[in-house]
Structure 1
Amino acid sequence: MPVSEAPFSELINKPKATLQPLTGSRAHAIRLRRRDDVDLVVTTADRYEQDHAVVSAALRLFRTIVLNGQADAVLDLLPEVFPWSRFLPAGDRHTFLIEFVDTLRAVEDLDTFAPVTQLLTEWRHTAEAYADPTVLAVLTRGTGDFGPAPKLPAA
């Protein structure tokens, strides 16, 4: 999708001219660059609603595919989308897929993708642990009662 860019100050000083690409060109959004903060993206309400409708439909389709007997096919394709998932054991790949689908469905009601981002980060770190033999050994070694914790010296 085409995105034009402009400094945030340009929006303040020349709002009509800065926003004109939203209606007079193929640009679907304008990225407003800010010096001391994160950039902003401006789009029209119509474009936002269209994008939301498309994402919502795609999420429903994906969920329906996974939950109606096609999970194995999706599991086979998972490494193409998430290469790090190759390091997860098969059972964990399946758990990840179900959690991913359930989280996608839940965020539709919240109108935020932050929980999906968090889920992906957590599973990627899990895959990193499985990929590193040293880390995996530390995390999977036997646990037990190692006795009372030593007392800290008085301050």
Structure 2
Amino acid sequence: MVTEVQWSELQRDPKEVARLADQGDVRVRRRDGVPLLLIREDRAQSLSEGSVAAARALRNVLVHLPADIAARALLDEFPWVDVLPVEAKARFVKDFARAFQASAELGEWSVLAQTVQEWRSTATIYADPALAEQLSGPLDDDFGPVPQPVGEE
């Protein structure tokens, strides 16, 4: 359960907000920024330990399952996996399991989010057979110098 308070409440009565944090997480709303989340350190530690244990268990389950069954298990959450070729499905499962564990151990879930985004983009390419063929074919020509990126200095 998350209790919400305004920034002004935290400034006016920090002891009351601390008491609320002892009972559960506290979301501090601010007018000029993203809300803050106050969580007790012991609770954060147990969440971290739990996520690492879950990540290790999931990795072990996925490693011991045949790749096609593991891919089917992830299909409900990621329906685009269905358009990947069989060998790409196996690589997705392996990459997903490793990214999940790395994210849990680092406490940085952007690692998993990036992996999922990259594989979703790959699935988008495979969903268009003409594009997939074009992008997977050999490059025979020299396309010349690469221009500077637009908008970067």
TM-score range, shorter chain: 0.7 to 0.9
* Equivalent pairs, count: 145
* Paired position in structure 2 for 1:104: 100
What CA distance in whole angstroms lies between the structure 2 residues aligned with 1:135 and 1:36?
44
Q: 2:83 aligns with which of 87, 102, 127?
A: 87
Residue by residue, what CA displacement relative to the aligned partner does 1:97-118 show, whole Å, maximum 9, x if unpaired? 1011122233344332221111
What CA distance in whole angstroms lies between the structure 2 residues aligned with 1:147 and 1:114?
34
Identity of aligned residues (%): 30
Q: 1:121 and 2:120 equivalent?
A: no
| Gap change, CA 1:106 and 1:141, over 3 Å in 2 | same
What CA distance in whole angstroms lies between the structure 2 residues aligned with 1:147 and 1:21?
62
Unaligned 5+ runs, structure 2: 146-153
SS in structure 1 at match of 2:33: coil
SS in structure 1 at match of 2:32: coil
| Gap change, CA 1:123 and 1:5, over 3 Å in 2 | same
Q: 1:35 aligns with which of 16, 19, 31?
A: 31
What CA distance in whole angstroms lies between the structure 2 residues aligned with 1:58 and 1:127?
27
Tell me the CA shift for residue 18 of structure 1.
2.3
Q: 1:75 and 2:71 equivalent?
A: yes
Q: Which amino acid aligns with 2:106?
A: L
What CA distance in whole angstroms lies between the structure 1 residues aligned with 2:36 and 2:55?
25
Indicate conservation of the 8 Å contact 2:4/2:28, yes or no: yes
Residue by residue, what CA displacement relative to the aligned partner does 1:19-77 show, whole Å, maximum 9, x if unpaired? 332334xxx31122222222221111121112112111111111111223454432221
